[in-house]
Amino acid sequence: MRSKTALKTREKGTGCIYKSRNRFYLKIRINGRAKSVMLRNADDSPCTTIKEAEKAAGGMRRILLAETMEETAHYVQEAKRLKKQSALEIDDAWETYLKQLSRPESGPNTLSKYQSVLAYFTDWIHCEFPNKTRVADVDRETALVFMQSVFNSGISNTTYNKYLQSLRLIFKHLKEPAALDANPFEDIPKKPTVMTSRKEFTMEQVKAIFQGFKTGFFYETVVEKLTKGRVRKRITKRLEYKPMFKEEMRVLLLLCCWTGCRGQDGC
């Protein structure tokens, strides 16, 4: 395998970047002949800044100057992978998941639950990390922060595990179309599901629950935020918990409250 030093030596003096009509090009000389190539970003859009151009030129030079077919194939393959990563948006993740032939044949109810969990995650990431718009932007750290916020909302360990299982499955089948290096939810451990006894709600708590369906369910949690110099700082944020099937949940709780039946009987 060729060393980085050898690569730099061969590139020295063989190419330059120039601008023409708001587009950047790489002019390179190969075997005595000059050749110009428009520089493009990973999503195939033309480079419009010198910073973008320099980044694109780095990969382009490697392909143009590759000495062997194996080198060329490696660089082309890597470029295709980066392009796939840039192409799949988080907002298109569900439709892409449905198109995967490798996904399990789930029933309508199960699919609806998966979709609701992914929609909840999508709303959360748009709010907390608006710059993360691609599936490839969801790394393990982002997944951990999300699962922590889910757990801090007060759900049971069983419900937490259902969220985790749903997202783990969805991202497993998005790994190939989004060219992910790894499934960000794969190594996050489940919560123990030991049954614990729970006390009944007080009248004040019952009133607060039903009031929440009108005003929203808010809670405070500690999250990490990147500050100046990319220093991580833990801050307390007030977030809103959005229950799945909100109107149906309200009807179910009313039914349980007035009849005294259990949740599964109410369902």
Orientation angle between helical segments 140-152 and 157-174, nearest 10 degrees: 150
Q: What are the boundaries of each domain within the chain?
A: 4-87, 89-196
Nearest to 58 by CA among 17, 18, 90, 97: 17
Query: What mean pLDDT is reported for the chain?
Result: 80
pLDDT value of residue 103: 94
**Residue of 100, 189, 174, 94 whose CA lies nearest to 137:** 174
Main-chain phi, psi angles of 43, to 5 degrees: -90, 15
The pLDDT tens digits of the residues spanning 213-246 come to: 888 888 888 877 778 877 888 888 888 888 888 8
Bridge partners of residue 23, in order along the sequence: 20
Q: Return the pLDDT at 196.
A: 59
pLDDT tens-digit map of 150-183: 999 888 999 999 999 999 999 999 998 888 889 9
Neighbours of 222 (CB within 10 A): 11
What is the Cα–Cα distance from 127 to 237, expressed in whole angstroms? 12
Check: CB of residue 78 under 8 Å from CB of residue 63: no
> What phi and psi values does residue 151 have, to the nearest 5 degrees?
-65, -35
pLDDT at 16: 85
Cα separation of 5 and 7, whole Å? 5
Question: Which parts of the chain register pLDDT below 70?
Answer: 1-14, 29-32, 42-43, 59-87, 194-198
- Is CATH 1.10.3470 the classification given to domain 89-196? no
